[in-house]
């Protein structure tokens, strides 16, 4: 997992009382490439029913945050490509990349497939 530059700066501001950062609604997205810390190489699917999914309901155990409910995307109506990264954003479209992580197993999303992270499968760990 990699924190995006934007989130690193916001966390530093929050930690030291600079500015006023508050947790946004989180949106889970997908990418066919490593977006990098600055999101310059973000490659989200476009069209064919793809949209980021709003996600709330998190639980923390020590240094890991897990989703408490399934995160289910719309059924693909065409190819989304081979998804290799999961991402977390602060907006349904555009907005800021907060973090990204490589999937254990890349997955080709074709028409009729409904991508999903089961409860407890979307993990954010700080070591």
Domain boundaries, given as residue ranges, for the chain: 2-125
pLDDT of amino acid 103: 95
How many Å apart are CA 32 and CA 82, to the nearest integer?
A: 6
Interval 36-48: pLDDT, tens: 999 999 999 999 9
Cβ pair 102, 66 in contact under 8 A: no
Please check the confidence at residue 25 and state whether its pLDDT lies above 80.
yes
Q: What sign for the dihedral angle of Cα 53, 6, 41, 87?
A: negative
Interval 60-117: pLDDT, tens: 999 899 999 999 999 999 999 999 999 999 999 999 999 999 999 999 999 999 999 9
pTM: 0.90
E strand or H helix at 116, and its extent?
strand 116-117
User: Count of residues for the chain?
Assistant: 127
pLDDT of amino acid 22: 81
Cβ pair 65, 120 in contact under 8 A: no
Cβ pair 87, 7 in contact under 8 A: no
Residue 56: band (very low, low, confident or very high) from pLDDT cuts 50, 70, 90 = confident
Mean pLDDT of 19-27: 85
Alpha helices in the chain (DSSP H): 5-15
Percent of the chain at pLDDT > 70 equals: 100
Among 113, 118, 117, residue whose Cα is nearest residue 49 = 113
Residue 24: band (very low, low, confident or very high) from pLDDT cuts 50, 70, 90 = confident
């Amino acid at each position: 997992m990699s924190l995006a530059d934007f989130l690193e700066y916001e966390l530093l501001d929050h930690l030291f009382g600079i500015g006023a950062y508050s947790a946004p609604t989180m949106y889970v997205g997908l990418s066919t490439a490593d977006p990098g810390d600055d999101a310059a190489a973000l490659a989200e699917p476009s069209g064919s029913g793809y949209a980021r999914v709003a996600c709330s309901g998190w639980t923390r155990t020590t240094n890991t945050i897990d989703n408490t409910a399934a995160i289910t995307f719309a059924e693909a109506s065409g190819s989304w490509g081979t998804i290799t990264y999961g991402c977390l954003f602060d907006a349904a479209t555009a907005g800021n990349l907060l973090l990204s992580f490589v999937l254990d197993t890349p997955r080709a999303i074709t028409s009729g497939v409904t991508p999903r992270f089961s409860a407890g499968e979307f993990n954010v760990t700080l070591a």
